Structure 1
Amino acid sequence: MRISPKYDVAGGVGDLWNELKRPQPYRWPILAASCVVPGLMLYVFASERWYAEPAAPEIVYITTFAPDRSEEEIIASNLENQERKEARQRLEEARIEKRREMYRALGQATGIDTDKMEAEIAEERAREEAEAQARLEEATGGSVDTSDTQ
């Protein structure tokens, strides 16, 4: 199963073997140097790293609203969402108040002055809000109106 009749590999291998069998003082260093040069070239090219550019991300838009909504539909949707938000807020405030009542009952059962503690907590909360407002006014130069935020 010869590849091509033009190339005779056996002749080249035979010549190399004859040169290696001959007693010459530099045959092994020359053979080592002959192997090192192609080995270094192979090492340099084999260790070169090519990184493919990352694929461009595929953008998927999530649409929850119809793109052809009218202004009235948008306003009605906003009002409905605001009502749901306020209902959730009322529920949360009721839960917090119920929890406070439970703690008041526990405090009174254990002999703790809950009215004094509530007054201290309200005073501390008012002081924190005043400090936050002062920091906000200092940072913005006093141009912030927070009267409609609550």
Structure 2
Amino acid sequence: MRISPKYDVAGGLGDFWNEIRRPQPYRIPIILASCAFPAFFLYFFAQERVYAPPETPDIVYITTFAPDRTDAEIVASNLENQERKEARQRLLDARLEKRREMYRALGQATGIDTDKMEAEIAAEEAREAAERERRIEQATGGSVDGSADDRSE
């Protein structure tokens, strides 16, 4: 492939060679400075950075249940887990009740009417529960528990 004739590379190189051959005191520093500037930009801006893709992870499936369990074993396991869950909930409820008793004692010691406060809290919770139920019925058309199916028959 031939370079277009309008570019005279030989003439440019000839002029460059004539200027280099002329004896000048700052010829070498000028040449170095002239080469350093483009080299600086080429070095910092023309570097190609290639990031290797991450390795695909090795997937290890952990099975906690035997694959050949029977339905009876599954039901027994579910019942055992439910009993543990209920025992944990009873423990949390007992802790909560103990904490409430401590606050009642503190309130009575400081002269606060704790019975009135508990009644207000219970009334507020009942209002919130009723509002929540109303919203659920409104959003679902009252068919959450299947009572809407019974009305249609």
- State the TM-score, normalized to the length of structure 1: 0.64
Question: CA distance change for structure 1 residues 109 and 22 in 2, over 3 Å: closer, same or farther?
Answer: closer
| Count, aligned residues | 128
Q: Which structure 1 segments of 5+ residues have no match?
A: 1-18
| Counterparts of 2:142 and 2:109, CA distance in 1 | 47
Give the equivalent residue in structure 2 for 1:117: 117
| Counterparts of 1:95 and 1:41, CA distance in 2 | 70
| Counterparts of 1:48 and 1:110, CA distance in 2 | 74
Deviation at 1:21, TM superposition (A): 4.5
Deviation at 1:52, TM superposition (A): 1.2
| Counterparts of 2:107 and 2:40, CA distance in 1 | 83
| Counterparts of 1:145 and 1:50, CA distance in 2 | 60
Deviation at 1:140, TM superposition (A): 3.4
RMSD: 3.6
| Counterparts of 2:139 and 2:48, CA distance in 1 | 54
| Counterparts of 2:102 and 2:42, CA distance in 1 | 79
Give the equivalent residue in structure 2 for 1:128: 128
Same amino acid, percent of matched pairs: 74
Question: CA distance change for structure 1 residues 58 and 110 in 2, over 3 Å: closer, same or farther?
Answer: same
Question: CA distance change for structure 1 residues 122 and 45 in 2, over 3 Å: closer, same or farther?
Answer: closer
- State the TM-score, normalized to the length of structure 2: 0.63
Give the equivalent residue in structure 2 for 1:89: 89
Deviation at 1:41, TM superposition (A): 9.6
| Counterparts of 1:132 and 1:84, CA distance in 2 | 29
